[in-house]
Amino acid sequence: MNVAKSGYHVFCANSTPACTELAKKITEVEIKESVRGQTIFIIQTIPRDVNTAIMELLIMAYALKTSCAKNIIGVIPYFPYSKQCKMRKRGSIVCKLLASMLAKAGLTHIITMDLHQKEIQGFFTFPVDNLRASPFLLQYIQEEEHLCLSSLSCRCLFRAQSYAERLRLGLAVMHGEAQCSESDMADGRHSPPCVRNTFGHPGLELPLMMAKEKPPITVVGDVGGRIAIIVDDIIDDVEDFVATAEILKERGAYKIYVMATHGLLSADAPRLIEESAIDEVVVTNTVPHEVQKLQCPKIKTVDVSMILAEAIRRIHNGESMAYLFRNITVDD
């Protein structure tokens, strides 16, 4: 790596061996020298101990800031807590707080990949480059024949549709939810039922609210005799994926893949995948999952270090990032 007059360094936060391995693939060399006046890139993957990884990043960024580094850029392939940031107040507060902490610590730019909610970029007071893993994932599966893309929910429908259009494949939509879904408690469907209003204006009664119903999973589209690929951005708890795979199998799909950018695969996910009808789970190396791969041979990894390395090079040289988003749609 050539360091110009106003050079740049790439540091690894060293939280896990996987982080070190990804950093080596991106940089290929290790540089140890003064950071004064330099542009610094900190690579931090997020393991299971999320808070420790965040503190490592904050401490390193502040140390570089007080060492007179010119720019401090965080390379965070999987941005933590992004799944919680929907329209709920609590999740938004967590992401806002984290964005503020990163700015206070000294970060001036972030490179990440496939944010769960793209609106998270608005929480930051500095630039955020949200790269896409879709070209690498599509390249992995495009050699297969008789494919059919499927979305686990309406939230993932646009992503699946974008993939299907580029691969010229059919699209099947999963409607409904699996029983015991992780979203049951989060969306308030098990909250205490509303009671009639006995206060306020005399004679005014509000209608009783009906409890939310979750219909069983059904398939909209033809998957018979095809390889069904379930598309999502994050694979964490896999109960919904397992239930969806069972339905697809019943509808005639002879192979079932699950494809996502971030493979968190927490708790009993490897065991559930191994015992399920899922034939293969394809994720990238944005999150360490070596232990899960040992537990479940069905888990496959796609390397995305190339695009992260190119992003670092372009930012340092002041080049446009548009090249990295060519043939990328808004829905990816």
Helix (H) or strand (E) holding 262: strand 262-263
Question: Residue 214: pLDDT band by 50, 70, 90 thresholds?
Answer: low
Cβ-Cβ contacts under 8 Å for 7 (sequence gap 6 or more): 38, 39
pLDDT at site 26: 75
For 121-171, write each residue's pLDDT tens digit.
Answer: 999 999 999 999 999 999 998 877 678 888 776 668 888 888 888 888 888
Average pLDDT (189-200) is: 52
Q: Which amino acid would we find at residue 47?
A: P
For 23-58, write each residue's pLDDT tens digit.
Answer: 777 766 545 678 889 999 999 988 778 998 999 899
Answer whether residue 192 shows pLDDT above 70: no
pLDDT at site 47: 79
Question: What is the DSSP code string of 3-29?
Answer: --TT-EEEEE--SSHHHHHHHHHHHSS
Among 182-191, 194-203, 246-255, the range of highest mean pLDDT: 246-255
Average pLDDT (194-211) is: 58
Question: What is the DSSP code string of 96-150?
Answer: HHHHHHHHHHT--EEEEE--SSGGGGGG-SS-EEEE--HHHHHHHHTT-SSEEEE
Which range is least confidently modeled, 2-6, 96-100, 107-111, 310-314? Answer: 2-6
Q: Which amino acid would we find at residue 156?
A: C
pLDDT at site 205: 65
Average pLDDT, the chain: 83
Cβ-Cβ contacts under 8 Å for 222 (sequence gap 6 or more): 148, 170, 172
pLDDT at site 58: 92
The overall pTM is greater than 0.75: yes
pLDDT at site 46: 85
For 52-109, write each residue's pLDDT tens digit.
Answer: 899 989 988 998 998 889 999 999 999 988 876 554 555 578 888 999 999 999 999 9
- Label the pairing between strands 218-220 and 234-235: unpaired
